[in-house]
Amino acid sequence: MADLLESRAPQRASRPLHLDDEPDTQPDAQRLDEPIDQSVDETAPTPRFAFVIATLNGARTVGPTVTTCARQADTYVVSDGSTDDTVGVALAAGATQAVQLDENVGKPAAIHTVVDRLDLLERYDLICIVDDDTIVDDDFVAVTAAQFAPDVAVVCAKTRSDWAHAQRWNPVVAGRAFAYWKYQAFVRRGQSALGVMNCISGSNSVYRTGFLREVLRPDTPYVVDDTYWVLEAHRRRLGRVVYCPHTSARIQEPTTVRSWYKQNLRWLWGTFQGVIGHRVGRRWSRFDLAYLGMMLDWLIYVLFSPVVLTAIIVLNRHDADRLKHIALVYAAGYALWSTFGAIALRKWRLVLLWPALIALDWISRVNFAHAAIKAIRRPTAECRWESPARYATAA
C-alpha cells in the first residue's frame, strides 16, 4: 500500500510547546474560584464512535484487539512500518480499514497520519485510541460514550491487567495488577471528582474529536504522548478529564523485572518531562495545587520513608527482638494490602505473592529517582515505540 506520508504536510491546531515560554503565554488553567469551561460542544444523541489502533509488528496481538473493538464501532488500524502481517491480521479480524506506512515514524506521527488522511476527526464525534494488546469490555462504547457531558473532553476507562493463566504466578504481572487496582481505587476516583486527573490511560481512553483536533500532533515533545495531551487539557482548559470505573480494558503487562522497570521508567520520565515543560505547580489553580500535593507524596515515598525506616533500624540495631518485631509489622502491612487487593481483584494468588510487592516497591523508588534525573537531563524527547514483549491472547 502506498506510503501515506507522501501527501500534504499534517495540519496542527495547537502550537509547539517551547520550554522557554513565559508562564503566562499559555491560556490560563482553571482557577480555584472559576467554574470549569463549558464551551465544548455537545455531541449528537448517538455519537459517532471509532477506535484507532496504532501498532508496530503487532500481528501476534492485534487480532483479538480488533475483534473486540469492531464488535462495537468502526475500527481503524495504522501499521507503523511493520515488517510482519499486521495489516492482514487486522483486516481478517474485522478492521474497517488498515493502513500500512512504508516507514516507521513513531506512534504519535502514525496516529496523526491516519487520523488526518482518513478525516476521522470530521467523520466521528468520539475516538478511542487503544494499544494493539488491549481487550475492551463488550459494553465499552456504550458506557464510555454516556460519560460525555458537555464539558467533558476525555473519558478514561478502568485499566485491568491481563493476568492470564500462563502468567498466573508471575510476580511482576501480579504487582502491576495490584498497582492498577490501588491507584484507580484510591487516587484516580478522587482526582476525577475534583477535576484534577494528572494522567490518562493511553491504552484505552476515549476523546472528543474537538479535543484531539487541538492536541494531536506528530511531534509530541514528551516520550509519552498522553502526558502532553492531559496537560494541554488542563493548561488550555479544553474540557474535563474524567475516570469511568464502570467499564474496562484489559492490557498485557511486562513479564520480567527488566522490562517492567524499563516501561515504568519511560512512563515516569514522560511524567516528569510534563512537570517541567508545562511548569506544573507554578500557577494558582486547583490542578496545580493537587499536583503539588501528589509530588509531595512522591517525595515522601522515595526519600522520607526509606530515611525513617533506616533510622528506626539503626536506633534498634542492638535489640534483635525489637528488629524482629519491626520486620514482622512491616511485612504484615504488605500482606494485609495484598489481601485487600486479592479480594478486590478476585485473584487469591496475590495473597501468596505479597513478598514480591515489597521487592517491587523498593525498586519503584529507584525508578522514580532515575526518571527524575533523566527528565532533568532530557526535558524533551521524541516519542518512539518502546514496548515489552507481547504474548498471544484471546478476545
Helices and strands: H and E segment counts in the chain: 15, 8
**pLDDT (tens place) for every residue of the chain, 395 residues total:** 434 333 323 333 333 333 334 333 333 333 333 433 333 344 446 799 999 999 999 999 999 999 999 999 999 999 999 999 999 999 999 999 999 999 999 999 999 999 999 999 999 999 999 999 999 999 999 999 999 999 999 999 999 999 988 899 999 999 999 999 999 999 999 999 999 999 998 888 999 999 999 999 999 999 999 999 999 999 999 999 999 999 999 999 999 999 999 999 999 999 999 999 999 999 999 999 999 999 999 999 999 999 999 999 999 999 999 999 999 999 999 999 999 999 999 999 999 999 999 999 999 999 999 999 999 999 999 877 666 666 666 55
Whether the Cβ atoms of residue 363 and residue 264 lie closer than 8 Å to each other: no
pLDDT the model gives residue 5: 34
Q: Provide the grid cell at 309.
A: 525506616
The Cα–Cα gap between 52 and 202 comes to 12
> Which residue, chain included where needed, has cell 477535576?
195
Q: Provide the grid cell at 110.
A: 502514525
Q: At 29, is the secondary structure helix, strand, or coil?
A: coil
The Cα–Cα gap between 146 and 178 comes to 28
Amino acid identity of residue 14, one-letter, is S
Please give the C-alpha separations between residue 356 and each of 250, 308, 324, 335, 362, in angstroms, as whole numbers.
Answer: 22, 22, 20, 10, 10
Please give the C-alpha separations between residue 207 and each of 2, 129, 153, in angstroms, as whole numbers.
Answer: 29, 8, 6
The string of DSSP letters for 340-394 reads HHHHHHT-THHHHTHHHHHHHHHHHHHHHHHHHHHHHH-S--------PPP----
- Output DSSP code: residue 110: H
pLDDT in tens, 256-272: 999 999 999 999 999 99
Q: At 52, is the secondary structure helix, strand, or coil?
A: strand
> Which residue, chain included where needed, has cell 489553580?
285
**Torsion angle of C-alpha atoms 236, 239, 132, 359, degrees rounded to 10:** 80
Give the pTM: 0.86
Whether the Cβ atoms of residue 99 and residue 378 lie closer than 8 Å to each other: no
The Cα–Cα gap between 227 and 216 comes to 12
For 80-103, letters b (16+ CB in 10 Å) and e give bbbeeebbebbeebebbebbbbee
DSSP β-bridge partners for residue 51: 75, 128
pLDDT the model gives residue 395: 59
The Cα–Cα gap between 40 and 242 comes to 14
The Cα–Cα gap between 32 and 16 comes to 27
Amino acid identity of residue 188, one-letter, is R
The Cα–Cα gap between 87 and 43 comes to 31
Whether the Cβ atoms of residue 62 and residue 86 lie closer than 8 Å to each other: yes
Q: Provide the grid cell at 243.
A: 475516570
